[in-house]
Structures are given as structure tokens and as C-alpha cells.
A and B are shown apart, each in its own frame.
Chain A
Amino acid sequence: MNDRTQSALVRLTRELVRLPGIGQKTAQRLAFHLMKVDKDEALRLAQAIQDVKERVTFCVQCRNMTESTLCEICQDPKRDRTKILVVEEPSTLHAIEHSKAFNGLYHVLFGALSPLEGVGPSDIRAHELENRVKAGGIEEVIIATNPTIEGEATAIYLTKLLRPYGVRVSRIAYGIPVGMDIEYADEVTLLKSIEGRRECP
């Protein structure tokens, strides 16, 4: 291996290792793999990365990822336009979409509030959400922030912000994962699931 090929390989490894969840060993294996496969196959990856960066932007309404001004969900006439589900990250949106459990619209915050660490309402575009509610037609806002301190703070803030507009503000239920034995749940999860109980229909 001459110096130039080595440095290209090292450079690729160095880029891969910066991706979330990829360690030095995995990065090396991926880099060697990409070196061995057909040029076309490897370049498809490069092209896909380039396309994502050049074409994908954020939906002007919900900040989901999209290749046009409005995302597919916001454009879809079959979605229930009276409900907005609020998530911290696009990955949560995709998990909920995949479950087909929700047929309304979304709002992606890209973060959560932190009373001390300088993440305030403008950083999570809370007022864009307020404006959507203010514009009318929304009956319910469902908050699906993470059950962490920051997620709780965000939920409290958004509830206070949106209630005055007469919309129903709810939070998704937090508790025992389906398929798990209740006895193995930690105390906080148990507490949350008892707090979040509901009457049997």
C-alpha cells in the first residue's frame, strides 16, 4: 500500500468513526468493505449521501424531513388535520409512523427545553407550534416528548403555552412495555404506569 491509498483509507475510517454508534473497529471494517466492493456499489452510497444533503430539507410546517416545501405527511389529504403530535426528534416521528398508530400531523421540536442549560422555547421553535394552533382548526395536541427531565419540562411548558387556545393538550401514556412482565419493571416506570392508568371501557 502506498502512502496515498493509505491516507484515503485512513480518511474514510476517520469519517466513519464520527457517525453515531460506530467505533474504531467497525469503521475500519466498513472502510475495508467499501474498498473491496464494486466501484458502482460504493459510489451509490456516496451518491445517496450527496442527494440527502442536497435535496432533503425541513418541512416548513412541521419540520419533518422532506424533499419539497411541505413533507409527505403534511401534504397527505387523508391525514387528520385536527391533531398534532409533538416529538423531540425526527427518529421518533418515523417510529410512530412505522407503527401506524397515529393518523394526524406532527411537529418536530429538534430538542427539548432545559431550564439551566440554555435551551429555551425559541430553540425548539415552540412559537411555530403556537402559531399553528393559533391559526385554528386544531382540536388536540398530543405531546410525545421523552420521559426525561428535559422532556417533562418541555411538556409542562407546551401545555401552559397551548391551553389558552382552547385545544385539548394530552401526553402519550408512559409505562410498562407491552410483552414485558410487570415484576421486572423499574420503580419509576411502575409509578408512571399507575399514575397514567385509565378506566376500563
Chain B
Amino acid sequence: MPLLNSKAVILHSQRWGEADRIITGFSQRAGKIRAIAYGARKLKSRFGGVLEPFNLIQLTLFERTPTSLARVSQAELLESFSAIREHLHLMGQAARMATLVKAITADHDPNEALFQALVGGLRALTTTPDPQGVMLVFQIHVLDHAGFRPEMGSCTTCGSSLGTARGWFAPWSGGMICAQCRHTQSGPCLSMAPGSIAFVNQAKRLPFPVVTRLRATGQVRREVEEALDAFIRTILGTPLPEIASWAAEDEPRYALPVSSARS
């Protein structure tokens, strides 16, 4: 009997010993898993390139080895999102997605919605003219599904409804606080325009791939990005790594007319 047979996305793949690999994946049926693929780096390995990061695979794991890691017994490629591998910027964003999922989830904790967001996010990266925009809505979805849904509708401190005015995002509180509480609390707050609050609310409601049609520009994008960065830093205790500048410049150029790129 296999320990697990499930779809999974490879989050991280690390060389191990002479010819092996240790993979971290996020599986549909068992959540985050770590497993060892013996001989994966050998020429005639049946795993070949299947266990590379970002691949969506059908994974079969078998009994635990003496190292307490499960052993990969089968891995079949379902989707490789190959466009990601053609641009350094996309590789960087995909790596940030994988890093976030890896850091925010616990082992063996299945989460169907999060799995779908991960597949949807990677798939969206392969077609979008706006990778940062995809990353923005991806972060909102992952936070939501991992149990850190930012509270945007009412004050996290006194519970009063916030209405449609400009508000303040308080990362340490898990959401917005009202104007009054803002003066009695000492933690840092980030100003959010009504448009920014509406963007986060809409992004939470819409599933992938529809959510990628939401476009945040200008001030809204800046405010939402800052709020998410601060919130993730608070949750993980460390910021999500930035894409190195030498990679960030290498973006795909789509020959799309501006109107269809913005629709």
C-alpha cells in the first residue's frame, strides 16, 4: 500500500548525497510533504526532470525510510508551466509563490483551496502580461486559505464597522483598525484608500483564473503591496524574499494591445 497517491506541486528540490534528491511538495490529499527520490540525479532515473520545482505531478510515496522521509516511488508529469522557465522574472515570482506556501503551511495538513490557488497561480503566471499583479492576488488567496484572511470589513480591535472611508491596515492585528483605535494602539499602521480595501475584498471572493482579471494600478497597487508585505512579514517572522534585480528585469514581452491587457 502506498503512503500517498496524489497530485502535488513541487515547491523545492534539493540535491542529496551522491545521486538523490529531497523534494518538498504541496499535495492535494496530504498538504505539504517531504520525500526522498533515490537515484533521481542518475542518467537513467525514471524521475528525470519530473521532480523539478513548479511541476504539477502525480506523485506516489511509499514507506518511510530510516531517515523518516517517505520514498518517492512514482512521479508522472501533469503540467510543467514551461513558460515560467523561459523568463528569470517568472522563475522568481514562481519561486516566491513556492516559498510562501512552503513557509505558511504545516506538514501533512491537506488544504484543497490552497492547492487550487497554487496551481491557479502558477498557471496564471504562464499567460499574464502582469506577473506582479498575479503575485498580488495569489498572496491574498494563500493568506485567506492558510487561515490568515485579513479582516477588511470591521475594526480588529473594537469590532466597529468601517464603512467606505480611508482606513488603516494594522499587520500585527490581522486586519484593519478604525480611526479611533488607531490613536489608542501603538503598533504601526498602513493607510488604505477605499479602492485598496475594495481590491482585497474582491480578490478574496474571486477564484483563479478569474481573479487575475482584477487590476490594481497606481496607489491601489502600492498600498495593497505594502500591506501584504507587512502582513506576511508579521506572520512568517521574515519578509518574503525579493527577486534579485538581475532577474527582475527579464520579463516576457507580450505583443498584446494595451486595451486587452488591461481588460
Contact = CB atoms under 8 A, between A and B. Distances in A.
Given A115-B243, A120-B244, A149 B85 contact: yes
B26 interface: no
Contacts of A192: 49
Interface stretch (A46-54, A61-69, A135-143, A183-191): A183-191
Interface stretch (A2-10, A97-105, A150-158): A150-158
Given A21-B17, A115-B88, A152-B85, A186 B50 contact: yes
Contact of B49 (A116, A118, A188): A188
Contacts of A188: 48-50, 52, 55, 77, 80
Contacts of A184: 44, 46
Contacts of A120: 244, 246
A186 to B, nearest CB: 3
Interface residues of A, number: 26
Contacts of B25: none
A21 B88 CA distance: 33
A34 B51 CA distance: 40
Contact of B80 (A116, A148, A191): A191
A11 B43 CA distance: 35
Nearest to A177: B43
A180 B250 contact: no
B152 to A, nearest CB: 29
A20 interface: yes
A115 B44 contact: no
Nearest to A161: B246
Contact size range, B = 35 or more
A121 interface: yes
A152 B13 CA distance: 14
Contact of B91 (A20, A121, A153, A186): A153
A123 to B, nearest CB: 11
A187 B43 contact: no
Chain B CB within 10 A, most for which of A20, A149, A189:
A149
A177 B99 CA distance: 33
A160 interface: yes
Interface in A147-179: 147-149, 152-153, 156-157, 160, 177
B95 A116 contact: yes
B88 A156 contact: yes
Chain B CB within 10 A, most for which of A177, A180, A188:
A188
A115 B91 contact: yes
Given A116-B95, A147-B49, A160-B250, A187 B241 contact: no
Contact of B47 (A116, A147, A186): A186
A162 B173 CA distance: 49
B150 interface: no
Contacts of A156: 86-88, 250
B181 interface: no
Chain B CB within 10 A, most for which of A116, A121, A188, A191:
A116
Contacts of B49: 147, 186, 188-189, 192
B53 A149 contact: yes
Contact of A115 (B54, B80, B92): B92
Given A156-B88, A156-B250, 18 more contacts: A21-B18, A115-B92, A116-B92, A118-B244, A149-B52, A149-B91, A152-B85, A153-B88, A157-B246, A186-B49, A187-B77, A188-B48, A188-B77, A188-B80, A189-B48, A189-B49, A191-B80, A192-B49
13 contacts: A115-B91, A116-B96, A116-B243, A120-B246, A121-B246, A147-B49, A148-B13, A152-B85, A156-B86, A177-B44, A184-B46, A187-B77, A188-B52
